[in-house]
Amino acid sequence: MSDEQSALHQTGRAPGDPGVWFFIIADMAMFAIFFLIFMAGRHEAPELYRASQAHLDTRFGLANTLILLTSGACMAKAVMMARAGDGAITLRYLLLTLAIGLLFGISKVMEYRAKFAAGIAINTNEFFGYYFAFTGIHFLHWIIGCGVLIVLIRRVRRSGVNAENINWIESGGTYWHMVDLLWVMLFAMIYLLPPGGAA
């Protein structure tokens, strides 16, 4: 453990700006409500949800999960390198985080296009209404996350890893991990969970 990590551990503070955590908790509370609504709908109409879920391509969901988790791992490395004071490596990991993260967008667009080509849209039925709504709102979070990463890259390029930038990187990293976490939840709930618990 580096001195910086050790110091952080000893202070017991959450990484990044405390205010960002308020945003993240509020956002996750909103997604928790999304999940409850989806589960309630699934409970009401298991047959509809089962038939609709069969039209989802789990390969896209799995690929997106791996992309975001890998990108998240790079982000974690970027935070560690920033705390260690290595600006060049931090920058490299931030660029890698963004490059891998961008694959999520490509994969998501391909998945949406395949759905539209199959005649599936947001108003097809309740399941697909929620599928497009929840993954669409998550997609907006991803777009904002990419914007945040670009800001972080510009800041590190301009002024290295000073105390202010470390706070920015920790805050941005926390947000990016939230994007990962929400996707993992969405993937499990929409793509994998068998409606009604029966095959």
Partner 1 sequence: MVQITTDNSYGTWRFCAWNGMIFMGVFIIFWGIMGHNVPPYGGDLEASVIANYFRDNANLVRLGMAISMTFAVSYAVWGISIGKVMDYILGRDHILTNLQVWGAGLTVVPILVSSSFWLTGSYRPEALPDEILQLLYDMAWLLIDLAYSVTSVQMIALGAGGLRDKRAQPFFPKWVCWYSIWVGFMFIAEILMPMFKSGAFARQGILNFWIEFMIFFIYAPIITFYQLKAIKRIEAGEPAA
Residue 78 beta carbon to partner 1: minimum distance, rounded to whole angstroms: 23
The interaxial angle of helices 163-186 and 18-44, nearest 10 deg, is: 0
Spatial separation of the C-alpha atoms in residues 38 and 48, rounded to whole Å: 12
Residue 80 beta carbon to partner 1: minimum distance, rounded to whole angstroms: 25
- Interface of this chain with partner 1, residues 10 to 39, rule: CB under 8 A: 17-20, 22-23, 26-27, 30, 33-34, 37
- Interface of this chain with partner 1, residues 66 to 105, rule: CB under 8 A: none
Alpha-carbon distance values, 33 to 29, 40, 82, 122, 141 (Å): 6, 10, 35, 19, 16
> Per rule CB under 8 A, is residue 194 in the interface with partner 1?
no
- Interface of this chain with partner 1, residues 130 to 169, rule: CB under 8 A: 130, 133, 136-137, 140, 144
Q: Is 176 exposed, middle or buried (0-12, 13-18, 19+ CB in 10 A)?
A: buried
Spatial separation of the C-alpha atoms in residues 34 and 28, rounded to whole Å: 10
Among 15, 105, 129, 160, binds partner 1 (CB under 8 A): 129
Based on CB atoms, which residue is closest to partner 1, 34 or 93?
A: 34
Based on CB atoms, which residue is closest to partner 1, 96 or 112?
A: 112
Burial 139-153 (b: 16+ CB within 10 A, else e): bebbeebbebbeebb
Based on CB atoms, which residue is closest to partner 1, 74 or 178?
A: 178
> Measured at the alpha carbon of residue 78, what is the angle toward residues 186 and 101, in degrees to the nearest 5?
40
The contact set with partner 1 (CB under 8 A) reads 17-20, 22-23, 26-27, 30, 33-34, 37, 41, 122-123, 126, 129-130, 133, 136-137, 140, 144
